[in-house]
Copies of this chain bind each other. A is one copy, B any other.
Amino acid sequence: IQSNKKRVLLISNSTCAGEAYLQHCASYVKSFLNGGNVKNVLFVPFALADHDSYEATAKPVFEEMGFTLTSIHHHLADPVSAVNSTDAMFIGGGNTFRLLKCLHSHEGLIAAIRQRVADGMSYMGASAGSNVACPTICTTNDMPIVFPPTFASLTLVPFQINAHYLDPDTNSKHMGETRAKRLAEFHEENTRPVIGIREGTALLVTGKDSVKLIGRSVGARLFLHGRTPEQQTEHKVDEELGPLLLVKGED
C-alpha cells in the first residue's frame, strides 16, 4: 500500500519473559494510537483457538491505556462493517497459518483492511499479526497446522518480517536450521528483503517512505537477497530503514 496516510506498527512479540501482555511496548503503543486520534480498537483473535479468552487478555490492557476494544469474532456476520467503523485494528499473535486461513475465509475482509490502512486507519500487529501485514507469510516461524488457500497476505508493507528473531546459538549441537539458515532458504526461492526483529522491538511504518525500528536497544538484522550470511547487516533502534526496505516499491 502506497499512501501518505499509512500508520502501521508491527511488533515482534506481544509478551517479553516475566512481563505482562504488551507491557514491553505499552508506551509506544499508547502514543501510536493517540497519534492516530484512536478511541476504539478492533481486535482480531484469529491466531489463537480460543477467541473469548484471547479477547479477555487484550481488552483490559487497552482499556488501561484509555482505549475501548471489541473483538471481531463478535461481528462475524459482517466483519467488513466492523473494519469500516473502527479507528484502529490490532491483530494479535498465535499461529500465522490459522490466522491467515481465517482472514481469507471472510469475503472482502482483506480488501477492507487494505483500504482502511490506505485511508489512514491505524494498524497494529504483534508476532503473527505482524507476519500477515507482509506480502506473504513465508517468513513465519510457526508450524503449518492448517492449510490456508494461499500464503499471500495483507501486503501493508512490501517487505517480509521475521518476528522473534533469534541469533544462532554457537554452542548448540542441534542440527535443525538456525533462523539465519531458514531465511537463506527463503532467499533461495524469493527475492524480497526480510527484516529479523528481535523480541522487545517493533517497526513503525508511516507514510510512503519511513520505516523505523523502535523499542529495546537490541537492534534488527536485515537479510537481502543475493548476499552471503556475512554480508547481511545489523541495524539500530531509531535508524531510518525506509531506503533499505522500501526500495522495490510496493505492490
Closest to A148 in B: B147
In whole angstroms, how far apart are the Cα atoms of A145 and B98 in the complex?
17
Please tell me if the beta carbons of A174 and B164 are within 8 angstroms of each other in the complex: yes
**Whole-angstrom distance between the Cβ of A51 and the nearest chain B Cβ:** 12
Please tell me if the beta carbons of B182 and A142 are within 8 angstroms of each other in the complex: yes
> Which residues does chain B contribute within 8 Å of A49, judged by CB atoms?
185, 188-189
> Which residues does chain B contribute within 8 Å of A183, judged by CB atoms?
143
**Whole-angstrom distance between the Cβ of A143 and the nearest chain B Cβ:** 4
Most B-side CB within 10 Å, residue of A94, A98, A164, A189? A189
B-contact bits for A170-183, CB 8 A (1 contact / 0 none): 00011111000011
Task: Kindly specify which of A10-18, A104-112, A113-121 makes contact with the partner chain.
Answer: A10-18
**Whole-angstrom distance between the Cβ of A79 and the nearest chain B Cβ:** 21
Candidates B17, B95, B97; contact of A175 at CB < 8 Å: B17
Please tell me if the beta carbons of A95 and B185 are within 8 angstroms of each other in the complex: yes
Residue A137 lies at the interface, judged by CB distance under 8 Å to chain B: yes
Q: How many copies does the complex hold?
A: 2
Closest to A16 in B: B175
> Which residues does chain B contribute within 8 Å of A175, judged by CB atoms?
13, 15-17, 164, 199
**Whole-angstrom distance between the Cβ of A200 and the nearest chain B Cβ:** 10
> Which residues does chain B contribute within 8 Å of A97, judged by CB atoms?
144
In whole angstroms, how far apart are the Cα atoms of A142 and B142 in the complex?
9
Q: A140-B143, A144-B151 are in contact. Are A164 and B189 (CB under 8 A)?
A: no
Most B-side CB within 10 Å, residue of A49, A141, A145? A145
> Which residues does chain B contribute within 8 Å of A138, judged by CB atoms?
143-147
Closest to A188 in B: B49
In whole angstroms, how far apart are the Cα atoms of A175 and B174 in the complex?
19
Please tell me if the beta carbons of A150 and B151 are within 8 angstroms of each other in the complex: no
> Which residues does chain B contribute within 8 Å of A98, judged by CB atoms?
185, 189
Please tell me if the beta carbons of B177 and A166 are within 8 angstroms of each other in the complex: no
> Which residues does chain B contribute within 8 Å of A188, judged by CB atoms?
49, 145
In whole angstroms, how far apart are the Cα atoms of A150 and B176 in the complex?
24
CB proximity to B under 8 Å, residues A41-85 = 49
In whole angstroms, how far apart are the Cα atoms of A141 and B181 in the complex?
13
* Contacts A/B (CB < 8 Å), 18 sampled: A15-B175, A16-B173, A17-B175, A98-B189, A139-B143, A140-B144, A141-B143, A141-B176, A143-B183, A144-B144, A145-B189, A145-B190, A147-B150, A147-B151, A164-B176, A166-B176, A174-B199, A175-B199
